[in-house]
Amino acid sequence: MQNSRIRVRKARVVAGFFAAIAIILWIGGTGWSLTPTASEAESLAAWEKIATVLQHPRCLNCHQLDSPLQGDTRRLHVPRVVRGPDNHGVSAMRCGNCHNEMGNNPTSRTPGAPHWQLAPVSMLWQGLSVGDLCRMLKDPSRNGKRTPEALIEHMATDRLVGWGRNPGEGREPAPIPHREFVDHMKAWVAGGTACPK
């Protein structure tokens, strides 16, 4: 009787051990850590790098109120286009009329990526200081209801975000290589999404 209890206890210990290993492996596989590993200073330093990307024309040009900007000089989009109810333009002037989901058009040089559109009104970045942009980005009411982890995921995998590094001829790519940028995002989050004043 006692032996069988010991066997059950041993089996539970072994099962628990393997379950713990599985959870650790799973967490490792997702790329997230359980606890913040960066300091606030490291988080702030990472944010300063992130901001150079978000304030670059490749990102900022479409985080505008009613009409996007174009080019490295940030001029108004020609032809004139307006936001419309779904952020994709209006009637015969919708973003997808010219911008290809499959990518940049090398002949007309029209840029393209999936869900080409103006960023939602809640995400107006134009004119924000680096600190205000930081506070906006981590505010779920102004970032598409994203958790910090979801922000990393968005920046890492969204193909429209990724387009900024492959914008086609005649446009300067967003600064900082993609992997490095995602590492900065992780460090910013790990250190508590610190924002400058």
Name the residues that contact other proteins, by CB under 8 A. Answer: 78-82, 90-94, 96-102, 105-110, 112
Please report how close the Cβ of residue 75 comes to other proteins at its closest, in angstroms.
13
- The DSSP result for 130-182, as a single string, is HHHHHHHHT-TTTTTS--HHHHHHHHHH-HHHHHTTS--TTSPPPSS-HHHHH
Q: Which is nearer to other proteins, 98 or 176 (CB)?
A: 98
Please report how close the Cβ of residue 89 comes to other proteins at its closest, in angstroms.
9
State the DSSP H helix or E strand holding residue 17, giving kind and residue range, or none if neither. helix 2-30
* DSSP reduced 3-state for 103: coil
Q: What value, to the nearest 5°, has the Cα angle with vertex 180 and ends 133 and 152?
A: 50
Identify each DSSP E strand in 21-171 by its residue range.
69-70, 75-76, 89-90, 93-94
b/e map of 75-96 (b: 16 or more CB within 10 Å)? eebeeebebbeeebbeeeebbe
Please report how close the Cβ of residue 81 comes to other proteins at its closest, in angstroms.
7
Q: In angstroms, rounded to a whole number, what is the distance separating the alpha carbons of residues 110 and 133?
A: 28
Q: Which is nearer to other proteins, 63 or 83 (CB)?
A: 83
Q: Which is nearer to other proteins, 110 or 122 (CB)?
A: 110
Q: Which is nearer to other proteins, 103 or 196 (CB)?
A: 103
Please report how close the Cβ of residue 73 comes to other proteins at its closest, in angstroms.
17
What the block records as the tokens of 177 is 């290589």
Please report how close the Cβ of residue 148 comes to other proteins at its closest, in angstroms.
35
Q: Which is nearer to other proteins, 29 or 170 (CB)?
A: 170
